[in-house]
Amino acid sequence: MDSELLEQIVTNLKDINSKLDKLIVQVENRDEQITEKERIMADSLDVITLLSLPDHLRTTATTLFEIGPATADEISKITNKERAVESNYLNQLVRMNHVRKYREGRKVYFRINDSLKKK
Amino acid sequence: MTLTLAIHSSKGGTGKTSIAMNLAVAFASAGKNTCLIDLDLRGPSLCSMFEPKSHFWINDFLSGKCSIKDTLTDVKGEMDTKAHLYLSFSNPDIREIRDLVSKDRDWQASALKALMNGKRELSEKDLDVIIFDTSPGVEYESINAVAASDVVIIVHNDTNACTSCTEQLINGVYSLLDKKCGIIDNMSHNNCLDMIDKKRYGVPVLATIPCMCEIATRGKNEILVHTEPEHLFSKSIISIKEKIEAMK
């Protein structure tokens, strides 16, 4: 009876594990997949908008402008803030559509958003 | 490490271009590889003093049509400077200027990115000094130049309008972008060769240049630092150059 129960628990755990794996992949891909609507809305960061950002976000965005695509870790070394703090600021900028986040291997990179309406 | 300067002012006609050109010649004469870029896209002026020999304008670079190197003309021979003196011209064709006025903020955002990349490209080319000559006031082109620079040189003249706007620019633009600044009091009417203030609005005053008709008349077709290094104006420019180097 005990071994039967254990077996069932193990099976369930395996099931949960594989479901979690699928979820992780979905969440990771969600950042990459941009719907057509979001593409049109994609907002490039111009200098006047940069000026109107709150101080902490402006420093992060300016640094990203200066050094080009970078990880939160690289930004934090220049701004002398904690990596987690910069990561938070960068993600705020991503939500504001000013910065784009992408993955290369195991690292997460950020770059200033490009306008897709190329002229 | 490349030093990037933006020559800016709150109002027009304060002498940005002549100070930018003379400073560029002063740096190149002192052995610094220098690049002067005309970013006054709405009122180009570098082409009135020099003849462009490149196929591309800085406008083409900002629009992503060429690399920044494709826009450069070297005037080392012409100006007899010790180091290279590259110029990047803005297109004076009225159709180009009309086209520019209709550009939207997306274009300006990509122009800022291009300018940042161009600056990196020039640093890799062993340029020691990059000078942006800008348009006056708060225009996209000039604030882009300020954002891409390390030090902002404010060319100021003694009018009330200029005074109040300069203070606003310092507090509302340069400080927000964490830029080091220096003020040049140009065309000063105080009969005085020494600096009147050492600091104004918390920013160092680098020089006071007295108002002299000669600077305006000869400056039309001469770069005084080149033709008459002993001139009072040329000496001021050299001392400004030294102070800027010390700021770095």
Dump the DSSP string for B137-203.
SS-HHHHHHHHT-SEEEEEE-S-HHHHHHHHHHIIIIITTTT-EEEEEEEEE-SS-SS-S-SEETTE
Predicted pLDDT at A119: 35
The fold adopted by the segment(s) B3-247 is Rossmann fold (3.40.50)
Q: Please, are residues B90 and B39 in contact by the beta-carbon 8 Å criterion?
A: yes
Q: Do A68 and B109 touch (CB under 8 A)?
A: no
Predicted pLDDT at B105: 86
A1/B contact by beta carbon, under 8 A: no
pTM of the full structure: 0.84
Beta-sheet strands, E only, within chain B: 3-8, 34-38, 72-74, 85-88, 129-133, 151-156, 180-188, 199-200, 203-210
Work out the burial of residue B121: count CB atoms within 10 Å of its CB; fewer than 13 is exposed, 13-18 middle, 19 or more buried: middle
CA distance B64 to chain A (A): 9
**How much is the ipTM here?**
0.80
Q: Do A44 and B144 touch (CB under 8 A)?
A: no
Average pLDDT for residues B187-211, to the nearest whole number?
83
Domain ranges of chain B: 3-247
Smallest CA–CA distance from A52 into chain B, residue: B176
Q: What is the pLDDT of residues B136-166, one digit of tens each?
A: 999 999 999 999 999 999 999 888 778 888 9
CB atoms within 10 A of CB B161: 10
Per-10-residue mean pLDDT, chain A, length 119: 88 92 82 56 79 94 92 95 96 93 94 64
